[in-house]
Structure 1
Amino acid sequence: MNGHKPQKTTLRPYDDVNQTQFIVYADLDETFYSHQITNEEETSIKAFENYMECLVKRHQVLFGVITGSNLDSVIQKLENGSHQIMPHFIACDLGTMLYWVNKNGEFLPDQAWVDRLMKTNFTQSTVNAIIQNLESLYNIEMTAQTQLGSSSFKKNYYYYMIDDHTDTKNIEMIRDLAHNQELGCNINICNPLAGDPEGAYDVDFIPQNTGKAAIIEFINQKFQVDRENTFAFGDSGNDLEMLSKVEHGYLLDNATIDAKKQHEKITTDPYTKGILNILKEHFPM
């Protein structure tokens, strides 16, 4: 955002889309990227990329990832996995940062999105004040997360479960304090398969009017794509609002039990195979 040399990927990018007609969004961890890549998943990734290349050329499909991970982590996961092609865009840090991948493999920030961020009052000191009040006034203990890396516009914590009554009251208090400071706050049960602890909630503080769902609204409007031509895929509770912003929103077969209880559309297969089969239903070749 400040003129530094852009980060690059060793993966090749998808072809440019001249006139976007469809958009496909996918969560990263345990959706587009499996933390335990099997031989079957490697085959599915290759099949997905081959199919997506055809969709880009024949149907002007734009494809991107929306994730809680930071950009360094996204690049590392996709380059070290079995992926060969980088998506058109990466919305990282829980949908607070948006980058477009150019033909040279460089990640360029979306300036209009940057302008939106700079108008918010999100600061580390504001988040620190919320955490301090939670602990000193309400005896609600929060544990800072470190595995996703630091971000100027996203601060992550864990809240460890106590009992249903206490958790409900405490989560409501966390949301209230964030709202009073005009911050966004996402709270969802952790998914251990994505590297989180069991028996805990993810608590993410972000600027208002940002996040996974806001990214989808922003990109759909940017390219003037009709809702009926939008797809999204996820695996956990923090993807549900994102799925509600598209016409074709699916949880994958490997999604968390809690998330599946709250969403009707679920694929019959996990990971990229689940995504691929849904796309084949809508774009037969």
Structure 2
Amino acid sequence: MVGKEVFAVDAKRCFASTDSTKSLICFDFDETYFPHACEDGQLEDLHGMELYLDRIARQYHVKIAWVTGSDCASLADKMKRAHLTYMPHFIAANLGTELYQITASGERKEIYAWKRFLPVQEEFNERVDGLIDKLSLDGIALQPQTMHGQSMYKKNFYYFPDGGDLTDVLHRVRQAAAAAEVGLNVNACNPRAGDPDGAYDIDFIPLNTGKRAAVRFLASHCMVEPARIYAFGDSGNDLEMLQYAGNGYLVANATEEAKQKHGQMCESPYAAGIQSTLQHFFL
């Protein structure tokens, strides 16, 4: 069951859709699908890839998803910046805590079946507040993120290393989150996406959500096996999604942290690397 809302982007349409689904292609958005620099060559590659994706969606019965830490308002702004024409069939926003289907006419429909995985919001907020208080008492100060905003089920913070044992600090954050029964994403920030250099993203989300969980849900929803899933990302918060997919790739502009943990990579950055990789599977 879905609830309908028009996506806040003018004159956009969804990629071609067929009745059956044989493959699923999942993209992280920031610094994977969307290059923040928006240089002319990057946008030319991106617009060419849009046409390619629309063709293979129809020819090979492919569904396309954006699986992103951004919210839908931010996505709409970035689509305008890049002059994008097409929207995906699905959007997993706010680190996979929100899941939408996009109709051919550009309507965004919330997939209510996904919401059964979400706790009562007040209970989640209380758990996160208690977790932040505990970490503060333990000498671990987290700074709320203001650029990306907070959502109902994604609470974003930065951790700025102070010269102490970073491994120990992150271990204690993970232990505290597990004790509070709160999901956690930790990865080095990517300054190219607008984050501060040298900081770490600390994102608290409900258990059983996140990018990997969202892709797993979409695979079941579309009746696609992991071997027929193709996923692309650029940073540490994409790694679980890439590892779940049968074909998971980092773009060549990925962060060093991600490259150290995942060996399968595109030969080029952004859309150029994505399209050349997909052409090995979809001519």
Alignment partner, residue 271 of structure 1: 270
Alignment partner, residue 229 of structure 2: 230
Alignment partner, residue 257 of structure 1: 256
Kept in 1: contact 2:99–2:114 (CA 8 A): yes
Alignment partner, residue 64 of structure 1: 65
The residue type equivalent to 1:65 in the other structure is W
Q: Map of 1:167-246 to 2, 5 A cutoff?
A: 167-246=166-245
Deviations 1:71-92 (A, max 9, x none): 1101111122131111111111
Deviations 1:14-42 (A, max 9, x none): 12231000000010110000110111112
State the Cα distance separating 1:189 from its structure 2 match. 0.7
Q: Map of 1:108-127 to 2, 5 A cutoff?
A: 108-118=109-119, 123-127=124-128
1:154 and 2:154 equivalent? yes
- Work out the CA distance in 1 between the residues paired with 2:207 and 2:119: 12
- Work out the CA distance in 2 between the residues paired with 1:51 and 1:185: 35
Kept in 1: contact 2:15–2:88 (CA 8 A): yes
State the Cα distance separating 1:232 from its structure 2 match. 0.3
Kept in 1: contact 2:69–2:95 (CA 8 A): yes
State the Cα distance separating 1:6 from its structure 2 match. 4.5
State the Cα distance separating 1:7 from its structure 2 match. 3.7
Kept in 2: contact 1:188–1:237 (CA 8 A): yes
The residue type equivalent to 1:221 in the other structure is S
Identity of counterpart residues, as a percentage?
36
- Work out the CA distance in 2 between the residues paired with 1:45 and 1:166: 41
- Work out the CA distance in 2 between the residues paired with 1:199 and 1:118: 33
The residue type equivalent to 2:224 in the other structure is V
Q: TM-score, normalised by structure 1?
A: 0.94
Kept in 2: contact 1:9–1:106 (CA 8 A): no
Alignment partner of 1:158: what SS?
A: strand
Alignment partner of 1:46: what SS?
A: helix
Alignment partner of 2:244: what SS?
A: coil
Kept in 1: contact 2:232–2:242 (CA 8 A): yes
Alignment partner, residue 144 of structure 2: 144
CA root-mean-square deviation: 1.8
Count of aligned residue pairs for this structure pair? 282
State the Cα distance separating 1:103 from its structure 2 match. 2.0
Q: TM-score, normalised by structure 2?
A: 0.95
Deviations 1:124-183 (A, max 9, x none): 2221111111112x11111000111221100000111123x5211111111111111111
Unaligned runs of 5+ in 2: none
